[in-house]
Chains A and B, each alone.
Chain A
Amino acid sequence: MNITSPFPLIDPHIHMTSRTTDDYEAMRRAGIVAIIEPAFWMGQPRTEAGTFKDYYSHLIGFERFRSSQFGIKHYCTIGLNSKEANNEALAEQVMELLPLYVAKEGVVGVGEIGYDDQTAAEDKYYRLQLEIAKDVNLPVQIHTPHRDKKKGTLRSMEVALEHGIDPGMVIVDHNNEETVKDVLDRGFWAAFTIYPHTKMGNERMVEIVKQYGPERIMINSAADWGISDPLAVPKTVALMLERGIPEEQVRLVSYGNALAAFGQSGQMPESDWLEAQPVDQSQKFSGSSILRGGQTPRIDEPNTPTSNIIR
């Protein structure tokens, strides 16, 4: 399938650490110019605080580099995820690490945090992280639970309000038909994850936008190490356009709203990708560094960034 969006796209929730360079290439081709990678679960629980540190460093370091190599601007959100908040001894140490990372350049929020099993420990660390977000004035990206979703979603929002956080600073993720109204009614941002087969499919997403309009709604792929699709955003965009949703509305849910919501961090100016040229000059200079002996350097168009990675 060859999808190309008529306008630039942002995928505000994708775990590229688990993806390949083919994905980056396909995403760029399909029109994705910027992505947000929330700190989350690696599939197996971490047992040492040091592995969190390396993971956070990876998000602000190598993954950002790798992404730039394919002309995609990479941002991240930093947080202790709900699943791993249940290992309290570890969680305590991770909380000490967070202040070192949340204020870094390109960190556009505290996330993804919230509830998984909705335990007391999850509640404790969710609240502590809301306070950090308030301290550094960053948006919050909330992961809502798979099980008992509706209750978990409502609780996430109530607790955020309890901590005096403006709903306009909170992106509630993984919504569905059952949660969207509550989220929008309370003034929060509602993000939808388009998974193949499950969760929010493309078709259902079209219907939601038709019903609720584009305001404060955004779509993402949440692609990670599981069966997921890094092209979920461009594919859904194509379907929305095909189904007659006006282009301005499609633009909002696939670009404008993510930019407005996470842009409140002050860390995600549109100029980062619209004026990528000056940033690329040094990258272009090092264009041959990903090559192995004997390979021919790829000659890029002036506006296409090349590698900035030395091996």
Chain B
Amino acid sequence: MPTADQESVKNFLTELLTRATTPQGITWLEKQLAEAQTESKFFQAFSTVPRFVGKKKLEVTETDIATAEALRPGFNPQGWTADQVARTLLALSLPHQSPEEYVKTLDKLFATADVNELVALYAALPILPYPEKLVPRMAEGVRTNMTLVFEAVALQNPYPHDYLPEEAWNQLVLKSIFTSRPLYRIYGLENRRNLKLTQTLSDFAHERWAAGRTLSPEVWRNVGPFVDETIWPDIQKLFTQPNELEQQAAALVCAESNFPEAKTMLETVPDLKAKIASGELTWNTIGEAVAAQSV
């Protein structure tokens, strides 16, 4: 399981924060990091962060993204805000000699956190100490009813991919589909495709079609390797849908499948096949197109 070197992460985040807050903001944070040794002081600092550090969005360059990825695979602070970074730095600086103590303090923080605090905490899970101890916490995050918190859990966060058991992972994907989150932004989706999820999604598709409704073509991103005689009629139907993105999705499913009929079918759509081969058509291009339509 990937873990992060906390000192390097701290240096990197401090550098990003310096660009997104004032010198006074940094001074305030440094003071808190030095002094917030008792639990109550730490909690208060954690809550009051935005007043001193602000909430400006980070300006993240391509180099930053590469650095983040090198520090911890999947770690990507794009879209993070100054207060979020400062809170992450505070959480990283909590004394953590004992995993039990650390998790206990973190639990208290989660239990009394507001939305922005929860967003910061969930997005920070992959880089915090003892990530393996935080699986129940992340599974709890999957059950949240707050959109912003769920997005911090599900999108652009490598933790679920790395640590969640299959049941919780499938819940995360299903919930993302039901609430129209962009699946292409779920880290490592392809690696965690599974038969059970595929079957659930097929049932879901039947339900929607029976109600005379459509479903996002991104749903089919999960099924490629599991196409069999049961799923195959779904893919055939997908080819006949009026939405071009759905036809593209059907072709991608075929390209990813070893099911003989799927291979034959792909030959009947040579233009899509060529676009897939050239990388012009991918699940990400479909995901981006869907997201662009729904804004």
- Which A101-137 residues have C-beta < 8 A from chain B? 101, 103-106
B37 — which chain A residues lie within 8 A by C-beta?
none
Q: Find out whether the CB atom of A289 lies under 8 angstroms from the CB atom of B114.
A: no
Most central of B44, B144, B175 by chain A CB within 10 Å = B44
Question: When chains A and B are docked, how far (Å) is the Cα of A133 from the Cα of B10?
Answer: 34
Name which of A58-66, A142-150, A191-199, A217-225 contacts chain B.
A58-66
Whether B66 sits at the interface, judged by CB under 8 Å, is no
Name the one of B40, B108, B144, B180 contacting A288, with C-beta atoms under 8 angstroms.
Answer: B180
Q: Find out whether the CB atom of A310 lies under 8 angstroms from the CB atom of B179.
A: yes
CB distance from B203 to the nearest CB of A (A): 14
A60 — which chain B residues lie within 8 A by C-beta?
114
Asked whether A105 and B50 contact (CB < 8 A) given A282-B148, A286-B147, A286-B179, the answer is yes
Flag B61-102 by CB within 8 Å of A: 1 or 0 each.
000000000000000000000000000000000000000000
B118's closest neighbor in chain A, by CB?
Answer: A61
Q: Find out whether the CB atom of B146 lies under 8 angstroms from the CB atom of A104.
A: no
Whether A308 sits at the interface, judged by CB under 8 Å, is yes
- Which A267-311 residues have C-beta < 8 A from chain B? 282-283, 285-286, 288-289, 293-294, 307-311
- Place the interface of chain B in its size category: 20 to 34
Question: When chains A and B are docked, how far (Å) is the Cα of A104 from the Cα of B115?
Answer: 10
Q: Find out whether the CB atom of A310 lies under 8 angstroms from the CB atom of B146.
A: yes
Asked whether A105 and B114 contact (CB < 8 A) given A99-B40, A289-B180, A310-B175, the answer is yes
CB distance from A297 to the nearest CB of B (A): 10
Asked whether A105 and B47 contact (CB < 8 A) given A61-B114, A65-B115, A310-B147, the answer is yes
Question: When chains A and B are docked, how far (Å) is the Cα of A266 from the Cα of B54?
Answer: 13
Flag B31-62 by CB within 8 Å of A: 1 or 0 each.
00000000010011001101100000000000
A106's closest neighbor in chain B, by CB?
Answer: B114
Q: Find out whether the CB atom of B114 lies under 8 angstroms from the CB atom of A310.
A: no
Question: When chains A and B are docked, how far (Å) is the Cα of A309 from the Cα of B144?
Answer: 9
Q: Find out whether the CB atom of A282 lies under 8 angstroms from the CB atom of B147.
A: yes
Question: When chains A and B are docked, how far (Å) is the Cα of A103 from the Cα of B40?
Answer: 11
Whether B187 sits at the interface, judged by CB under 8 Å, is no
Name the one of A57, A99, A289 contacting B147, with C-beta atoms under 8 angstroms.
Answer: A289
B179 — which chain A residues lie within 8 A by C-beta?
286, 288-289, 310
Name the one of B43, B50, B211 contacting A99, with C-beta atoms under 8 angstroms.
Answer: B43
Q: Find out whether the CB atom of A285 lies under 8 angstroms from the CB atom of B295.
A: yes
A99 — which chain B residues lie within 8 A by C-beta?
40, 43-44
Flag B100-115 by CB within 8 Å of A: 1 or 0 each.
0000000010011011
Question: When chains A and B are docked, how far (Å) is the Cα of A87 from the Cα of B92?
Answer: 39
Flag B274-295 by CB within 8 Å of A: 1 or 0 each.
0000000000000000000001
B213 — which chain A residues lie within 8 A by C-beta?
293-294
Q: Find out whether the CB atom of A311 lies under 8 angstroms from the CB atom of B115.
A: no
Question: When chains A and B are docked, how far (Å) is the Cα of A100 from the Cα of B40?
Answer: 7
Q: Find out whether the CB atom of B148 lies under 8 angstroms from the CB atom of A308.
A: yes
Whether B150 sits at the interface, judged by CB under 8 Å, is yes
Whether B230 sits at the interface, judged by CB under 8 Å, is no
Whether A155 sits at the interface, judged by CB under 8 Å, is no
- Which A229-257 residues have C-beta < 8 A from chain B? none
B51 — which chain A residues lie within 8 A by C-beta?
266
Q: Find out whether the CB atom of B111 lies under 8 angstroms from the CB atom of A57.
A: yes
Beyond A53-B112, A282-B148, 17 additional contacts (C-beta under 8 Å) are: A56-B112, A60-B114, A97-B112, A100-B47, A100-B112, A101-B112, A103-B43, A104-B114, A105-B114, A282-B151, A283-B147, A286-B147, A286-B180, A293-B211, A293-B213, A309-B146, A310-B146
10 closest Cβ contacts across the A-B interface?
A286-B147, A103-B47, A60-B114, A100-B112, A308-B147, A289-B179, A104-B47, A310-B179, A103-B44, A103-B48
A-B contacts, 15 of them at CB < 8 A, read A53-B111, A53-B112, A57-B111, A62-B145, A99-B40, A99-B43, A100-B43, A100-B47, A103-B44, A105-B50, A105-B114, A286-B180, A289-B147, A310-B145, A310-B150
